[in-house]
Structure formats: C-alpha cells, structure tokens
Amino acid sequence: MRIHTRLTLAAVAVGALALAGCTESGTSDPSATSDDIPASAAGRMSYGAGYALASSVQDQLDADFDADGFKAGIADALAGVDLRVSDDELEQARDDILARRASSEGQRAAVNLDAARAFMAENANRDEVTVTASGLQYQVLAEGEEEAPRPSADSEVVTHYTGRLLDGTVFDSSEVRGQPATFGVSQVIAGWQEALQLMKVGDRLRIWLPPELAYGERGAGRDIPPNAALEFDVELLEIVR
C-alpha cells in the first residue's frame, strides 16, 4: 500500500537523522499539554502509546523536531487522510537536514582541532608536564610504592578516574559514581592504554589526550565533541591480572 511505503520511508528518515548531530531548532514549542486523560483502560493504553511515540520521535529528531508537523501527521493519520508529503519530499527533507548537520559538524570539528592543538602546545611548556613521543601529556599527582606492580597491555586493571573537557566540564567520573571501573588495558582508547602502562599501582596521574589519542573526529555521543582534547585524573587502584 502507498501509505505503508510512505510510513516506512518516514521511519527510515527519522532513524537516519538519529545517527547525526543536531544544530538547528525546530519551529514549534512542543510544551502544550492536554487535560483530557482517558479514564478507561483502552483510553489509558492509547494515551500511553501516543506519549511513548511522541517522546521517541522527539528524542530522535532532537532540535529538528517540529511539534506542529508532528501533530498534523497524527491528526491526518487518525482522520484516515493519505500522507500529504510525497516520498520525494520526505527524502529531500531528510537529505537537506543531514547535509546541514554534516556541514555544521565539519566546521565544529575544525574549530575544536585548532583549540586542541593550541592547548596541547601551551600545556606542554609547563614544568610539571611530561610529553611522550605519541603526544600524550601527563602530570604526576601522587605516587604509589616504588616496588608496586605495573600493568601491561594484557592486564586487567581497576581504576578511579574523572574525565573533563578543556572547559572543565566533567563528562564521566567513576569517583562521582563512587564505583571504581574495571577493564582491560587494551580495551580503552589509545591515550589511556599508554598512560596506564606508565603507571604503577597507587599512582595518580593527570593526563591530557590530543584528539588522535582520544575519540578523534567522531567524538563520543553528545558529551564529547569531535576533535576534542581531553583531560583525565586517573588513579590505578589494582591490577586484577
């Protein structure tokens, strides 16, 4: 059926957009609510389904979600009206948004890379900072016993850590959670792999990773932008094996 084809395309468009970052706000305020909460079991189930659908689509489209467009689509579907947007129009809308996002992300990545390089160059001049051949930078905050063991690339370790962007924003912290993290040395990003093998149990380092030793151009989710230099405080608590 034609309607089924278009609905499938709409779902694909939403899924594709969910894979990209977002930069432009939608045109509507989705904050309007309804006071008519159905009392029947069927009514409440239908309400819950509608709420879940709207929440899911809004989360996926994020700042590109348009509440008026969404409401119009729901109204037409409930009225049994054929889609008023063609397959070609849906595809074009998806492609336009993806192209805009890609361009914006590229510009953001370039700005971040310049900022990362400038910071790493300046930070390397500090007396307390050591720079390795790879570009990793570190400062010793605390030292363990001289004879304490050191991990290898095959080791599994227990650490406490706090990760920050260069502006001081904390994006992850086992210390805040109050739960140390256990993982294989070879399972983490390149900068961490190198830093851990420089440490012995009881050491605490502050490390700075250029983008190529962290998450590079792809970034990591919404918390770590593309080409971000990162700062971590890392304490090696234990070598499990």
* Contact of 220 with 180, CB cutoff 8 Å: no
Question: DSSP readout, 69-99?
Answer: HHHHHHHHHHHTPPPSS-HHHHHHHHHHHHH
Q: What is the C-alpha to C-alpha distance for residues 210 and 231, in angstroms, rounded to an integer?
A: 9
**Cβ atoms within 10 Å of 169's Cβ, excluding its own:** 10
In the annotation, is 161 catalytic? yes
The one catalytic residue in 97, 215, 224, 239 is: 215
Q: Is 58 exposed, middle or buried (0-12, 13-18, 19+ CB in 10 A)?
A: middle
Taking a C-beta distance cutoff of 8 angstroms, is the pair 82, 4 a contact? no
Q: Cα(191)–Cα(182) distance, rounded to whole angstroms?
A: 17
Contact of 216 with 149, CB cutoff 8 Å: no
Active site residue 138: no
Q: Does residue 172 carry a catalytic annotation? A: yes
| 114 conformational bin, left if phi > 0, alpha if psi -120 to 50, beta if neither | alpha
Q: Is the dihedral of CA 186, 190, 192, 193 positive or negative?
A: positive
The one catalytic residue among 161, 203, 224, 239:
161
Q: Which of 62, 87, 172, 233 is catalytic?
A: 172
Helix, strand, coil proportions of the chain in percent (round to 5)? 45, 20, 35
Selecting among 62, 183, 189, 233, the annotated active-site residue is 189
Annotated catalytic residue 215: yes
Kindly name the residue from 138, 203, 232, 239 that is annotated as catalytic.
232
Active-site positions read 161, 171-172, 189, 215, 232
